[in-house]
Amino acid sequence: MHETLSYLEEVEDTRQEKKVLHSMSDIIAIVFFASLANASEWTEIYYFAVERETFLRKYLKLANGIPSHDTIQRVFAMVSPEFLGKFQTQWNELLSSNEGEKIKKILAIDGKTQRGNGTNKQKANHIVSAVDEEGFCLGQKCVNEKSNEITAIPDLLDDLNIKGNIITTDAMGTQTNIVKKIRKKRADYVLALKGNQGNLYNDVKLYFNDTEFVAKCDYTKSIEKARSGIEKREYWQTDDIAWLPKKKEWTGLKSIAMTKNTITKNGVTTTETRYFISSLPLNVKEIARAIRSHWMVESYHWHLDVTFREDGNHTIDKAAAYNLNIIKKLAINTLKLLDVGRKNVSLKSKRYMISLSTEKYIEKIMQI
């Protein structure tokens, strides 16, 4: 990690050199270290740096001391998100311990709004992220204010090496151009269907409503305790899709699937049924794994809100808010790897522990 941190020195600083008191690389590193150590607001980041200045000098120059919280935020807004994305990629490459395995990796793509960034005069940032089934964010794209996820997802896919992976999205991402992009990059897809796909959704739903057809599908199920109740997850998959109208419009389409989640809690039973299209051949356990793994991106967004208090951060500058989102994701990835000597320690607790014993744990992180 120490070598990866040195990459920050390559950041392009567009400020007038004579007026620069604090290096941009130092400010990025301060925000990163502070984010690990339970700081979520700009003032908290500043106080962290002031209290830990002696330790920070082991890694940073800090030629003119610690910058004010206003300076940290202002300069951080000038950093190129593309640069931070490359920093994120370099760090993620250190996480590739499973490289070479034959199992296909699941990459879930979904969007989240930075609610604290919105005002009466501007829409809040909406950021589309790619999270693998182990819970690591591999990249993100901020949606153009006048656009939506449909245009951001192809741009995000262009930035990622997805060859051999399985891409999952919610119904917003089920678009023919996105399917083409995924297949062009030699990846597979499992995409959710809803009413916005019109006839495609209705046709697949009608197929699975026919008990005669369902009886011929591949089937698997799992039963587990969840949320103080019992949850049964059932999956059906078929490659009998020659009948499907406009099938050729969906590049690589090989199968359709249905999942039914039945939850029994306090004597009350609720059922949710969902439908999917996929480029995967018939293998119901594989498609069940992909569908089940998509929840990881929702879990990731939960950590941003609850562990890192993202929605409570009212950074109005859109660039600063987006850059802070990238750093928080980098911090989440790092915290997941950090061994604090105890089992089942939450990310929130790890941040608190780092705030108490910064030198001990940051030194450990530098050795990852």
Tokens linked to 258: 């249905």
Residues of the chain with pLDDT under 70: 1-4, 94-103, 146, 227
Q: What is the pLDDT of residues 214-251, one digit of tens each?
A: 999 999 999 988 767 899 999 999 999 999 998 999 99
Enter the tokens of residue 216.
């011929």
Tokens at residue 27, please? 């400010």
**What's the whole-model pTM score?**
0.90
pLDDT at 339: 92
Predicted pLDDT of residue 103: 61
Q: What's the CA gap between 133 and 289, in Å, rounded?
A: 9
Report how far residue 318's alpha carbon sits from residue 143's, in angstroms, rounded to the nearest whole number. 11
Query: What does the pLDDT look like over 27-81, one tens digit per residue?
Result: 999 999 999 999 999 999 999 999 999 999 999 999 999 999 999 999 999 999 9
Exposure letters 201-224 (e unless 16+ CB within 10 A, then b): bebbeebbeeeeeeeebbebeeee
Q: How far apart are CA 304 and CA 297, in angstroms?
A: 11
Alpha-carbon span 43 to 292, nearest angstrom: 39
Instruction: Answer yes or no: are the C-beta atoms of 298 and 304 closer than 8 Å.
Output: no
> How high is the pLDDT of residue 293?
92
